[in-house]
Amino acid sequence: MTALLKCLRGVAFAAVLAPYAALAQATPPEPRIVSDAVVSAEWIAKALASSGYRADFSLQSLKDVDRFFEENAVAGKPRPGGLLSRDLGPRIFALGAYVGEVIRRQAGGKWEGDDNDPNAEINLAVRLKSEAIASPVQVMKRYKNGAEDGIYAYGFALVRAE
């Protein structure tokens, strides 16, 4: 009899969960590149804050991203001993993810990325409510070109346009 009760309990439990299982199947999983970006944004925010930069996901914090580049890069190269002198690729990706997450939080929108894209890190984007696209790869332009491709001005223009 206890085996029958266990079986009935299992059937009842499955019946309760059935609508949720269907919902889970209807919602496609988030691309890995998107979850990597969100995790990287949180990680770099902590790293920036521990190094004396404002990294609270506010629009104003993008000024500190610009300051970070001023202090840690020159003419598209890391300053010797600076915070970009090691792990350049992952740190640039994380900084781009931070910029994208600031814009997403301030203007509203959704991350877009394709795990099958061989350039997923470069093509990662935030689609804003107005359908405008924010490209976190902007940090590469800032890194290479300097202040003329400022992060704060870029973010400010996108957020204020929404």
Chain Cα centroid distance, residue 49: 17
**Which pLDDT score is estimated for 128?**
95
Please say if the pLDDT value at position 109 is more than 60. Answer: yes
SS3 146: helix
Q: Considering the domain boundaries, does residue 1 fall inside one?
A: no
Q: Indicate if the pLDDT at residue 2 is higher than 60.
A: no
**Mean of all residue pLDDT scores within the chain:** 87
Residue 161 has pLDDT above 60, yes or no: yes
Residues 23-60 have pLDDT tens digits of 555 666 899 999 999 999 999 999 999 999 999 999 99
Looking from the CA of 47 toward its CB, the CA atoms found within 13 Å total 16
pTM: 0.82
Q: The CATH number of the domain where 119 resides is what? A: 1.20.120
Considering the domain boundaries, does residue 7 fall inside one? no
The answer to whether residue 4 is domain-embedded is no
Tokens representing 121 are: 């890190």
Q: What is the pLDDT of residue 21?
A: 56
Decide if 102 is inside a domain: yes
Task: Report yes or no on 6 lying in a domain.
Answer: no
Q: Is the pLDDT of residue 12 over 70?
A: no
Task: Inform me whether the pLDDT recorded for 14 exceeds 80.
Answer: no
Q: What is the number of domains present in the chain?
A: 1
Residue at 19 is within a domain: no
User: Which residues constitute the domain of residue 45?
Assistant: 30-161
